[in-house]
Structure 1
Amino acid sequence: MMEIQAIGDLLLRCRKRAGRTRPEQAAHIETFYGGWFDPERIKRWETGKRIPTSTDFQLIADVYGISMTEVQAAVAYSRRARRLDQVNTLVEEGAEEDEVERRTFISLALTTGLAAEPWGRLAAALDGGVVDKATTTRLVGNTAEMFTAEEHTPARLLAARLSTHLDTITSLLPNAGVHQRELMIAAGEAAALAGWVYWDLGDHRTAMQYYKTAALAGRRAGHGAVNALVLGYTSYGVDPNKARQMLTVAQEQVRGPGYATARAWLCAREAEEAAAVGDQEAAVRALDRASTAFDYANPAGEQTWMSFFVPARLGSMRVATYAKLRHPELTPAADDTLAALGTADTKMRVAVLGDVASGYLVAGSVEQAVEVGRRALAATLETETTMGKVRLNSLADQLPEQREAQTFREEIRAALR
């Protein structure tokens, strides 16, 4: 019979049996995870401060060399033990819950994701107190962290974190009082990001439900920027003419100080879609508006969801637009964009490299297209982004009948198969 123990004890025993320290175990996990893995996460698992979620089960089974059945049984054991500990503590103390204890519980829910458990959601929803400023600030901050994480975290991993975060906000929203609008905005932004993540995962139906809910939150809060974000995301999944309508409306929602980055992004998106239908005049005008808005932009100090929109990303959207138009400035635009690109392994980097590679190919620079395309392929495999795969498949379809180009085409097909 399989011995059932807490997941923390099981993972600690497996790690020590392998003779690894926590940092060494984190490095080992990275070979499966496809990116940086925090050793502190291992510590939280082993000490029981955090119980792995279902999205972690397969990774744990692969990395630690144990069966999925053992992982599931150990997690279930840990969850039962945690619940019993909560009950036993209250019974043994025999004291009434005071305001400090109530706030401690909510804080714990926010930091460890307890509200993702049914009992956590129920307890938070039944709580009679009013959500304070500190709690609201933490939830808003958590939303911002989700957008930062999206730049480098695979969608399949981020989806579970977003679900927990939205559950927490949902549980506390009825008692938000004067902070309700601020929480509605945070919820709308998080729901929009969830839509984008599920679109990346190929679950378009779920993505649309999140987008609709995010738009509802934006309307209820009277915050047009949330609606602009939703329209910007949704524009990637519709035909060019519909996308142009969406983007025109979206730009009206982000007028005034503090929205220059968002406006620049939406104008650049409009340029891409105008170019897709051959409307060169409208595309060039939209790019001019994007550049003008970006001159006044502060990506790091405006909406958190626009932190990805750095000069290289604007440049790659210019390249994508010029490529569709076969614009004479295509090659210089591609050169400038590549020069502005940093080295961080983010999804933004994937988009930029993909656009630049396609731009060079349209301009007839096959050798440069292949060189940059290989960098795009490596970055795509690192971040697991669907948008990168779409760009690379499109690039593969356009590669000419030259030996090096055909070799690269096979590399793409094999890697993305």
Structure 2
Amino acid sequence: MSTVVPATRSSTASDTRSFADDEAPIVASEPGDRLRYALERPGQADVDAIVLVETATSQLFDLEHHRPARALIPTVGRHLDDISALLAGTRRESLRRRLAVAGGQAAALAGWLAFDRGDATRAHRNWDSALAAAKYAADGPLLACVLTYLSYSSAERGDPATAWQLAHSAVAHAGSDARARSWMAARAAEEAALLGERRAALAELDLAMQLGSALIQPAPEDDTAPWTRFFYRATLAAMAANVHGRLGSIQSARDAAGWALRTVGTEQIKSRAVIMAEVACAFARAGEVEPAIEAAHYAVDLVERLEVTLARRRLRGLVPVLAVYSTSAPVRELLARLTFE
């Protein structure tokens, strides 16, 4: 879904593509690198093209909910190319800021897709570009988004202290968006809990609950920030189950998992895979094997269809918990699926 630039006197689709091609020997090879280059090289574009770019960027975040990363990465890369060409062709500062934000959002998404594919190097290159765009446009919510994505990367590297700091800092930059701030506070709570910082984890989780316990699932046409549309009360409940589980509060984790199940909905999307994986973990720790198996199978189905890396990691944590029940045929069947070979 590469952005199509409307035919106007100042900018055409063919002009956009030829500009990018002409600059290929000068601009770095990654789309995110080209975005950073374009931030420093103004020219001209028009409002109609920018509106189209902003709409397409939002739509790409919506596609990410139900499309595997490997299938979406080329489309996002082309979209970043188009934004970079437009940005390099724009002189008006107000329009450049809007393009910078759209480009930063697309780079943030490209980084997340790369992270989901296990390519940390490419993820961080894109996130560096997104941070540059956030700085250029003085856009706090975009900065907060990237910091939160980086928190997942730090956690993956085995650095929960940095992950906690990044997510905690993100809350302060997210502005008034309750959905974004709730997600970021819940992320901070997860990493504080992993460090055994009980008081801090519960304080972060309390803030997340205050902000997000009544959130409904957003619609594509509303004004929700595109990178937060996956997050609503069911996602928060699943993250709360993770926090309580990490703190050893088994009954609280089980209660949060029950809340997640009551509010999760039926959409075949990536966030539901993560939610069901957390539910399965909470039930398994509480010794409720049958609902754990049911939730886990549902999560595995979505993981296999949509390649949800976060859910896959959570499900692998079920293996040692369920191993004690391996005399059960249903448990053995599930354990065989959790290898993800």
TM-score when normalising by structure 1 = 0.69
**Are 2:242 and 1:320 equivalent residues in the alignment?**
yes
1: CA distance, partners of 2:7 / 2:261 = 54
Q: CA deviation at 1:380?
A: 0.7
Which residue in the other structure is 1:118 paired with?
21
Report what 2:35 is aligned to. none
The alpha-carbon deviation at position 119 of structure 1 amounts to: 6.1
Residue 295 of structure 1 deviates from its aligned partner by 5.6
TM-score of the aligned structures, taking structure 2 as reference length:
0.84
For 1:322 and 1:144, locate their aligned partners in 2 and report how far apart those are by CA, in whole Å.
33
8 Å CA contact retained: 1:116, 1:164: no
Is 2:223 the partner of 1:301?
yes
Aligned match of 2:62? 148
Higher RCO (C-alpha 8 Å, min separation 6): 2
CA distance in 2, matches of 1:250, 1:297: 19
| Distance across 1 between alignment mates of 2:310 and 2:214 | 28
**Any conservation in 1 of the 2:140–2:174 contact (CA below 8 Å)?**
yes
- Distance in 1, matches of 2:243 and 2:142, equals 26
Distance in 2 (CA, whole Å) between partners of 1:100 and 1:195 is 30
Residue 105 in 1 paired to residue 8 in 2?
A: no
The CA deviation string for residues 20-45 of structure 1, in whole angstroms up to 9 with x for no partner, is xxxxxxxxxxxxxxxxxxxxx9xxxx
**Of 106, 111, 120, which aligns to 1:204?**
120
1:285 paired with 2:210, answer no
Say if 2:268 is the partner of 1:345: yes
The whole-number CA distance in structure 2 between the counterparts of 1:116 and 1:346 is 37
Q: State the distance in 1 between where 2:238 and 2:19 align.
A: 39
Residue aligned with 2:223, SS: coil
List per-residue Cα deviations over 1:162-183 (Å, max 9, x = no partner). Answer: 1100000111102322300000
1:242 maps to which of 159, 162, 178: 162
Preserved CA contact (<8 Å) 1:240 1:274: yes
Percent identical among aligned pairs is 31
Q: Is the 8 A contact 2:20 2:81 kept in 1?
A: no
CA root-mean-square deviation: 2.6
Of 335, 338, 341 in structure 2, the residue corresponding to residue 412 of structure 1 is 338
How far, CA to CA, are the matches of 1:346 and 1:187 in structure 2?
25
Taking the aligned partners of 1:262 and 1:153, their CA distance within structure 2 comes to: 22
**What is aligned with 1:57?**
none
Q: Is residue 186 of structure 1 aligned with residue 186 of structure 2?
A: no
Structure 2 CA distance for partners of 1:391 and 1:115, relative to 1, 3 Å: farther
Structure ranking higher in helix proportion: 1
* TM-superposed deviation, 1:101: 5.7
Find out whether 1:377 has 2:300 as its counterpart.
yes
Give the aligned partner of residue 80 of structure 1: none
1:393 corresponds in structure 2 to 316
Aligned counterpart, 1:230:
146
Tell me the alpha carbon deviations over residues 110-149 of structure 1, each in whole angstroms, 9 at most, x when there is no partner: 8xxx579736989xx9xx9731111111001111011101
Residue 34 of structure 2 is matched in structure 1 by none
Aligned-residue offset at 1:187: 0.7
Give the unaligned 5+ runs of structure 2: 26-37
1:329 corresponds, among 246, 249, 252, to: 252
1:310-336 per-residue CA deviation (whole Å, 9 max, x = no partner) reads: 211111101111111122322221111
Whether the 8 Å contact between 2:241 and 2:256 is mirrored in structure 1 is: yes
